Structure formats: C-alpha cells, structure tokens
Chain A
Amino acid sequence: MRGYKNVTTSALGGSEMLDISAWFNDLLAGNLIFTPTTLGYYWEGLVTTSQLVFLSLLAGLVLAVPLAIMRSSKRKWISLPVYFYTYVFRGTPLLIQLYIIYYGVVFIDGIQQTFLWPILREAFYPALIAFTLNTAAYTTEIFRGAIKATAKGEIEAARAYGMSQSLMMRRIILPSAFRRALPAYGNEVIFMLHASAIASVVTLMDLTGAARFVYARFYAPFEAFLFVAAIYLCLTFAILYFFRFLEKKLLAHLRPQNT
C-alpha cells in the first residue's frame, strides 16, 4: 500500500509540474501583451531599478553619516555648507536634478574630452549621481534630527567618564541616533524606490521604463501599469519587512518587558 501510494504521489507531482507549465503557457497564450519578450523587458527593468536604488541608497548612506555630523556641528562654517546642500537638494524636484545632471552637463564646454565623459555618457551613472545626492540630502537631515535628539543624560554621562568628543560620537551618540533614525530611514528607502520611477526619462529601461514601453507598444495602460504596480508593491513589502525585522532586533530594549 505504502509503496503504491508513493508511486501515485510522485506521478501526481510530475503531472502537477506539467500542469503548472501548461497553465503558464495558457496564461501567456491568451494575451498579446505579456509575451516572453515583454516579460524580459520587465525583468530587465527590475534588475535596473534594484541596482539603481540599492547603489544610490548605499552611497547616500555613506555620504550622509559624515554630513549629518558636520550638520550638527556648532561651528557655523562647518554646518552651513551642509545646510545649503541639503536645502538645495530637498528644495528642488528630483526630476529637475536628473535633467540638469543628464542633459545639462553636456553643454559644459569640453566635457566630452574629460575623464568624466565615459561615466556621464551612459544614462545609468547620471541617474545614480542624481539619486545619490538626493537621498544623501534627506538622510543627512534624518540623521541630524536623530543626533539632535540624543538624551542629555547620555551625553553628560559620557563626559563624566572623560570621553573625548569623537569617542562620545562613536560610542554613544551615533549608535543611539541610528536606532532612533531607523523608522524614518525605512520610509526614505521606500520613497527612493518610488522616486526611481523617473529614471526612464533619461532612456533607462527601469521598471517604469519597461511599463511605458509595453504601454506605448500595445496601448494597454491598465495591463502595463497594474503589472508594474504589483512589482513595486512586492518590493515595498520586502523593504517594509526588512526594516520591521531590523527594528525588532535593534530597538528591542525600547519595548516593554514581558512580565
């Protein structure tokens, strides 16, 4: 009996696999829009969007930490330039920044002859630069707020231990500031993912670029954009859960203890 049962199960498993691939083929056969070619465009778009968002967030984060420390400085000549930078990049639309960095730079005389041109020639790097500078500005302000909000008692305690300014920054202020900044930074990551949708204006085939291509090719706005919206939702969902996990781990000491 047992042997017999096993045989049927495996046979069933095999036919189920067949069913799924047949079902997938049927699904694709019934429409003109989601062919392997267009799904390939969407996949390409997913890769481009992921690269663009991940790299710009990473670079933005690396830039934002020292900038946030400078921005919190009491010395005006240190904090003011950073304030000017964050003001400009938070005060103008990302789309305009992207236009300036992509189309604007080519009108600088002789830029084609400089070492920068191989980088600026591609669509990817100007977009990456614009996104990085933009997210770095927002992240700087998020961290600066968190640094400002450090409890007075912690700083006084650190001073009482005889910590230097930099040691106090490294051991006391930054670790607690990062924890406090986490929820706000999670939002910034999601905003950045959604803001990256404008990359297609500089010819990048990101997720939105793929959707626009399919839309324009088949005149099917609902299919093209609902599909891409679903992909963005999945990405957002993954980011949300990642940050929830981080918050659970890093902010555990803030939760009330179980009694």
Chain B
Amino acid sequence: MRNATLPFAAILAVGFTTSLVTTNAVARDYDEVRLGVDIPYEPFMYREADGTLTGFEIELGDAVCAYLDISCTWVEQDWDGIIPGLLARNYDAIMSSMAITDERAQRVLFSEPYYTTPSAWITTHEHDIDIEDRASLEGLTVGVQRATLQDNYVTELYGDVLEIRRYTGVDDVVTDLLAGRLDLTFMDYPIAEAAIEIDTPESQFQRISDFIKEPEHIFGKGVGVAFRPRDEALAERFNEALSALKEDGTYDEIMNRYFNYDVRL
C-alpha cells in the first residue's frame, strides 16, 4: 500500500507545483488590467470638460488598482455589447455599474457587490400621477433605457397597464418626456439626478415614488465587477482590495465626493 501511494503522492506533488506555477503565471498576466466601461453614466463614469475620465467607479477602480499595485487602463465599450466584449478579451474586467443578476452570472464571474442604488418613478410637474393607483396608470406611456434593470422592472410589473417605450440612452428619454411623448419614466435615481434636476425649485421634474430597491430577483444583489469565469484569482484580489478600501475609509471618501446618500452595501 505504501509503495502504491508513493508514486501517487509524487504525481500529486508535481501536479501541485505545476498548478502553483500556472497560478503565478496567471497572476503575472494581470500586472496590467484593462477595465471595460460604458461612458457616460454620470456620476459613475464620465468625462471632464478636458476629456479626462472621472466618476465614482473610475476613482474606486483606480483606488483598487493602486491598492493591488497593478496598472489599470479603461476601455470604452457600449453597454449593449459590454459582456461579449469581456468574453472576446477586449478587456479583463467590467467596472461599469453592472448589477449582479443570475442571467449575467451564467456568462461572467462577479466580485462581491460594491454598491447599490435606488430607482424611482419620475415625471414632469405637468403630470399628476399616483403610481400606487394601478388603474389610473392605464394608457400612460413610460420610457426606459433598453435592457436595464428598470426596463425589466417595468416590463414585469407594469407591462399590462403601461405602454413601454425603450430608448438607447437617457438623453432620449428626457427629450421625449419634455416633448410630451412620454408621461413618466422609471430610472436609476443617481442617473436621473445627473441628467435632470429633480424636485429643486426651478426644476421641471418631480419624483413620484419612494426609492425602490426591491424585488431582489430584478434589482439583484447590487453592483459587482465582472470577470471572465476562469479569472477566479483576479476576482479574489479585487474582493480583498474592495473590503480593505471600505475599512480604511478610502471608499467613504470617494463616495462622499459624489453622493449625498449612502450607496454602501
């Protein structure tokens, strides 16, 4: 028995060393990480007047890379194709306000969630809409950004009463809201707040619902960094970095520069 075990142990040992070497090789591959991002998506990622990238996620991503002592570059990619772009190796991770969902998790590997934001119903001051009264919504037209969680929410819960129009960008939704083609919109609140003034004295828009974060099967667990499924080591390093930044206060410092509410999980 012993004799039989020895060669087996030797093989194991060799195998182990090889796997260590490979892990190192993979880790070394990621001294440079390319991060995919869809711009603009204020205040998470956008360009300053001079063209430099900034925003909550850009700063957080740069802080993670600084903590891990790796160099990071940001790669621009339209939202529609952001997961295929990751799988096609155009970049190594997506840090672009991507909410963790089961559907997405079938294709990508997510880090621990690093923030979450509420959504809200918004309309112009000319409208008097009671979102709680379903019957009164009959025949109204709602605008959403195509393929977002807000799209899923409205499609699933209000598809039978509201007429849904799907847009490529938030700007188009706002244009049609002002034009009178839309009666209301359901938006990610920070995105809406960045695009339009809401509930300020001179604003044309009002929030007509509470902040909505439920149900979890639509809004998910929060926003995570997406990796290719095989890059478990890289995901683990990002998780470490993110929790360290939360502890040493870097996370809060960045957050307070962009939000007047808590986006931590």
Contacts and interface: CB of A to CB of B under 8 A. Distances in A.
Contacts of A216: 80, 146-147
Contacts, number: 44
A154 B179 CA distance: 55
Interface string B167-206: 1100010011011110000000000000000000000000
B165 A219 contact: no
B146 A106 contact: no
Nearest to B82: A219
A213 B178 contact: no
A217 B178 contact: no
A213 B166 contact: yes
Interface string A215-241: 111110100000000000000000000
A112 interface: yes
A21 to B, nearest CB: 28
B107 interface: yes
Contacts of A221: 81, 84
Contacts of A201: 168
B178 A219 contact: no
A103 B175 contact: yes
Interface of B: 80-81, 83-84, 103-104, 107, 143, 146-147, 152, 165-168, 172, 175-176, 178-181
29 contacts: A103-B172, A103-B175, A103-B176, A106-B175, A106-B176, A106-B178, A106-B179, A106-B181, A112-B179, A112-B180, A117-B180, A121-B181, A123-B165, A123-B181, A203-B143, A203-B165, A203-B166, A203-B167, A205-B166, A209-B166, A212-B80, A212-B146, A213-B147, A217-B152, A218-B103, A219-B83, A219-B84, A219-B103, A219-B107
